[in-house]
Amino acid sequence: MSENIKQIRVALRNCGFINPESIDEYIAADGYEALGRVLTEKTPEEATKEIIDSGLRGRGGGGFPTGVKWDIARKVESDQKYVVCNADEGDPGAFMDRSILEGDPHSVIEAMAINGYCIGADKGLVYIRAEYPLAIERLKTALDQAREYGLLGEDIFGTGFNFDIEIRYGAGAFVCGEETALINSMEGHRGEPTFKPPFPAQSGYLGKPTNVNNVETFANIPVIFNKGAEWFASIGTEKSTGTKVFALAGKINNVGLIEVPMGTTLREVIFEIGGGIKDGKKFKSVQTGGPSGGCLTEKHLDTPIDFDNLLESGSMMGSGGMIVMDEDDCMVSVARFYLDFTVEESCGKCTPCRVGNKRLYELLDIISKGNGSNNDLDKLRNLGEVIIDTSLCGLGQTSPNPVLSTMDNFWDEYLAHVEDQRCPAGQCKDLIRYEVIEENCVGCTACARNCPVNCISGERKEIHHIDQSLCIKCGACFEKCRFNAISVS
Amino acid sequence: MSAIKIKLRENDLQQLKEVCSSFNNEAGELINVLHKAQSIFGYLPAEVQEVIAKELNVSVAKVYGVVTFYSFFTMVPRGRHPISICTGTACYVRGAEKVLDEFKRILKVPVGEATPDGKFSITGLRCVGACGLAPVVLVGDKTYGRVAPDGVKEILKEYEDK
């Protein structure tokens, strides 16, 4: 992370600064102080109120007020309750949860224990992707150390409070980020979501009241107690307090994680912190919120980023992935890419999501091949709206967002595909042709040598030709030519 | 179910039963059991699922339902060097599709299958969280970052004699 005054580290405060495999270093950085103070000085109700006052909202995507969620679980009477950490970071392009678990696992453990105390749970579970072996290993090490130090287990800090944490593994299903699906998966079932209500706070894991929060949300908790709810609420905007970690990726100069106060603008994030677009190309769009989010454009660059503004712009916060795209990216293919993802990840339980997304994908496929009509564009929009209105869970309720937002913001591009059978970005394979510009070709043979299907012919120092019947449109010739002698049309 | 029929050897069977009992033969531990079983056998053929169903006292259909639901579990054997191409968004905009096409073209197998000699298999993978290195390719446990289509041959060369 580059040093930048616009960045404030709250969730990532220890990442890269302390040895994640040493509990002593975490303790030296005020670790487990919040847990100690909460257990010895506050009632569960007071501690929960502190979180409500901080204004912290769930960092996993939904943005539900964390303290309110805790309070609901706290008030439900039950002999057994559970705390669950959602570490099933399935959103492609987001990796903040992995970083926190690999760089500062104790902060999550401490927060889960605080959560357990607040709602009256003595058992926590971390549901983590099997694709993150290092995070799993570090978390296991941290759990062993915390037990050894008596910070997990029985009678923590001599207060009579018991709490321990177990690890559960995901198995590669995006929908398991949805809390009811996650709970089903933890119980050993297919990860299919169920209707809410009942909410997990009423009936969750094994039918018991369960509070589910995301890794980044938990990482914020100890700081709120150490520095105070007021301090936390002073960062960010009125309705979205604190900071947010974003994963910058795509066609941007500085890729990686950043942490900025809520309310920072996209322009500051992309052009100041991110260092602008790669290779001096033109900024076209930034995709936020993963497969549930939308593509924002130039006109949104000065919008302050918070939960509500992003929703209003037709996208969402999601878990904080930000994929930057430049002029070479075709928005129809981007929408198709996301739908391909959704079709594969839809659990199949409800019809609008299972069938509707498939149809959306097919329509986009037809359009990107140049066979679409204006009627297909109407269908695309109508169907998208129906899927949003009628799907069972968050996956289906948001999956048409990439389509609808690109239609709103890049309508010309859709029209070009449909009316002129043209892909303005030159990305849709069926609509483009690579050709040699004869006056520029010097016969260096670079294109012919790099063509994977050997469809370019020509002698050294003579003009080359592309055999269109064999060309697979991989673009290798275009990339290798140093004389601007290959055109895409 | 899978067309591949195998006969479990006696010690495989024993090992599988031990895995189940290490989780107290609890139905709720099904996913953990499947993770262990796949790490032993490399994949989860029907025969393995049948044994697990019996040990955990659930129906074979339930086990099959779970195996086919999660992309991490596979019913076809992977190659000795499984190649996973990340097709997450960051890798996609940095050209992962072209890299995937190049692997398919050179190895002449579609996604999800292994080469006839069992050496390589290709799978698409959704985000390994290494988006800074996009596009990313994994061969076994080894990660290759910023892979271009013309770097594919180089990668495969490393495994020539293995």
Tell me: the pLDDT tens digits for A402-415? Answer: 999 999 999 999 99
Q: Which residues of B touch A338 (CB under 8 A)?
A: 89
**A171 vs B90: CB contact, 8 Å cut-off?**
no
Mean pLDDT of A61-76: 95
The pair of structure tokens assigned to A57 is 């909202």
Nearest CB to A323; choose among B31, B89, B149: B89
Beta-carbon contacts below 8 Å between A and B: 113
A137 at interface of B, judged by CB pairs closer than 8 A = no
Contact between residue A397 and residue A439 where contact means Cβ atoms under 8 Å apart: no
Cβ–Cβ < 8 Å for B153, B141: no
Q: Is residue A137 located within the same domain as residue A202?
A: yes
Query: Does B102 lie at the interface with A, CB-CB under 8 angstroms?
Result: yes
Residues 69-98 (A) with a CB less than 8 A from some CB of B: 89-95, 98
Answer whether residue A144 is part of any domain: yes
Interface test with B, best of A89, A91, A95 (most B CBs within 10 A): A95
Of the pLDDT bands very low, low, confident and very high (cuts 50, 70, 90), residue B131 is confident
Banded model confidence at residue B6, pLDDT cuts 50, 70, 90: confident
Q: Are strands A283-288 and A256-261 parallel, antiparallel or unpaired?
A: unpaired
Cross-chain residue pair A187–B28, CB shorter than 8 Å: yes
Q: Are residues A83 and A175 in the same domain?
A: yes
Sign of CA dihedral B136, A298, A342, B104: negative
CATH number of the domain residue A306 falls in: 3.10.20.600
- The whole-angstrom distance between B139's CA and the closest CA on chain A is 14
CB contact under 8 A, A250 and B89: yes
B89-120 residue pLDDT tens: 889 888 899 999 999 999 999 998 899 998 99
Q: Do A172 and B30 touch (CB under 8 A)?
A: no
Q: Are residues A76 and A108 in the same domain?
A: yes
> Do A221 and A249 fall within a single domain?
no
* pLDDT value at A1 more than 50: no
Question: Are B88 and A251 within 8 A, CB to CB?
Answer: no
- Residue B14 at interface with chain A, using a CB cutoff of 8 Å: no
Q: Which domains does chain B possess?
A: 10-69 (1.10.10), 81-157 (3.40.30.10)
Q: In B, which residues are within 8 Å of A476 by CB distance?
A: 149-150
Interface list for A 366-425 with B (CB within 8 A): none
The answer to the question of residue A4 being in a domain is no
Of A174, A344, A474, the CB nearest to B101: A474
One domain, residues A98 and A226: yes
Phi, psi of A11 (to 5 degrees): -65, -35
In tens, the pLDDT along A93-127 reads 889 999 999 999 999 999 999 999 999 999 999 99
Number of other CB atoms surrounding residue A453 within 10 Å: 12
| Tally of CB atoms within 10 A around A472 | 14
**Is B94 within 8 Å of chain A by CB?**
yes
* A185–B27 C-beta distance less than 8 A: no
- Asked whether residue A107 is domain-assigned, the answer is yes
Residues of B in contact with A185 (CB under 8 A): 31
Residue A465 sits in a domain whose CATH number is: 3.30.70.20
Of the candidates A170, A190, A474, which has its C-beta nearest B98's C-beta?
A474
**Is A77 found in the same domain as A60?**
yes
Please tell me which of the candidates B32, B93, B125 has its beta carbon nearest to residue A250: B93
Q: Which residue type, as a one-letter code, is found at position B89? A: T
**In B, which residues are within 8 Å of A344 by CB distance?**
71
CA nearest to A253 within chain B: B132
Residues A219 and A111 occupy one common structural domain = yes
Quote the pLDDT of residue A130: 87
B53 to chain A: which residues are within 8 Å by CB?
none
- DSSP annotation string for A15-48: TTTS-TT-HHHHHHTTTTHHHHHHHHH--HHHHH
Domain region containing A160:
23-234
Helical axes A96-103 vs A105-119, angle rounded to 10°:
100
pLDDT, residue A215, reads: 98
Question: Which of B66, B70, B89 is the closest to A172 by Cβ?
Answer: B70
B35, B105, B126 member nearest A452 (Cβ): B105
| A407 and A450 within one domain | no
Chain B nearest-CA distance from A157, in A, is: 31
Q: Is A191 exposed, middle or buried (0-12, 13-18, 19+ CB in 10 A)?
A: buried
Contact residues on chain B for A93, CB-CB shorter than 8 A? 88-90, 127, 131
Question: What distance in Å separates residue A405's CA from the closest CA in chain B?
Answer: 17
Q: Which residue has the tokens 């795509």?
A: A250
Contact A90 B127 (CB under 8 A): yes
Burial class (CB in 10 A: 0-12, 13-18, 19+), A305: buried
Cβ(A113)–Cβ(B149) below 8 Å? no
Contact B127 A93 (CB under 8 A): yes
DSSP letter at A62? T
Residue A452: band (very low, low, confident or very high) from pLDDT cuts 50, 70, 90: confident
Q: How far apart are CA A335 and CA A411, in angstroms?
A: 13
Whether residue A285 contacts residue A296, with contact meaning beta carbons closer than 8 Å, is answered with yes
Q: How do B81-86 and B120-125 pair as beta strands?
A: parallel
Look at residue A4 in the predicted model and tell me its pLDDT: 52
Q: Say what the pLDDT of residue B124 is.
A: 87
Q: Is the pLDDT of residue B3 over 80?
A: no
Q: Tell me, what amino acid is at A90?
A: G
**Cα(B100)–Cα(B105) distance, integer angstroms:** 9
- Residues of chain B in contact with residue A402, where contact means CB-CB under 8 angstroms, are none
The beta-carbon neighbor of A325 closest among B69, B71, B93 is: B93
At residue A313, does pLDDT exceed 70? yes
pLDDT surpasses 50 at A2: no
B57 lies within 8 A of chain A by CB: no
Q: Are A43 and A182 within one domain?
A: yes
Residue A445 and residue A484 share a domain: yes
Mean pLDDT over A133-139 rounds to 94
Residue B65 forms contact with A (CB below 8 Å): yes
Residue B2, pLDDT score: 45
Residue A171 lies in a domain: yes
B38: CB partners within 8 A, 6+ apart: B44, B72, B73, B74
Write the DSSP string, chain B. --S------HHHHHHHHHHHHHTTT-GGGHHHHHHHHHHHHSS--HHHHHHHHHHHT--HHHHHHHHHHSTT--SSPPPSEEEEEE-SHHHHHTTHHHHHHHHHHHHT--TT-B-TTSSEEEEEE---S-GGG-S-EEETTEEE-S--GGGHHHHHHTTTT-
Number of domains present in the structure of chain A: 4
What are the tens digits of pLDDT across the range A286-295?
A: 999 989 899 9
**Is A74 inside any structural domain?**
yes
CATH code where residue A386 lies: 1.20.1440.230
Bridge partner residues of A57 (DSSP): A65
Beta strands (DSSP E) in A275-343 are 283-288, 294-296, 321-326
A137 lies in some domain:
yes
Instruction: Indicate whether B1 pLDDT > 70.
Output: no
Instruction: Let me know whether A219 and A82 are in one domain.
Output: yes
Q: What is the ipTM of this complex?
A: 0.86
In a domain, A138, yes or no: yes
Enumerate the residues of chain A whose CB falls inside 8 A of the CB of residue B127.
90-95, 131
Domain annotation covers residue A135 = yes
For residues A38 and A109, membership in a common domain is answered with: yes
Using the predicted structure, report yes or no on whether residue B125 has a pLDDT greater than 90. Answer: no
Question: What residues contact residue A132 under an 8 Å CB cut-off, 6+ apart?
Answer: A87, A89, A98, A101, A102, B129
pLDDT of residue B4: 59
Q: How far is B26 from chain A (nearest CA, A)?
A: 9
Whether B131 sits inside 8 A of A132 (CB atoms) is no
**Is residue B151 scored above 70 in pLDDT?**
yes
Instruction: Tell me which residue has tokens 């007021």.
Output: A230
Whole-number average pLDDT of chain A: 94
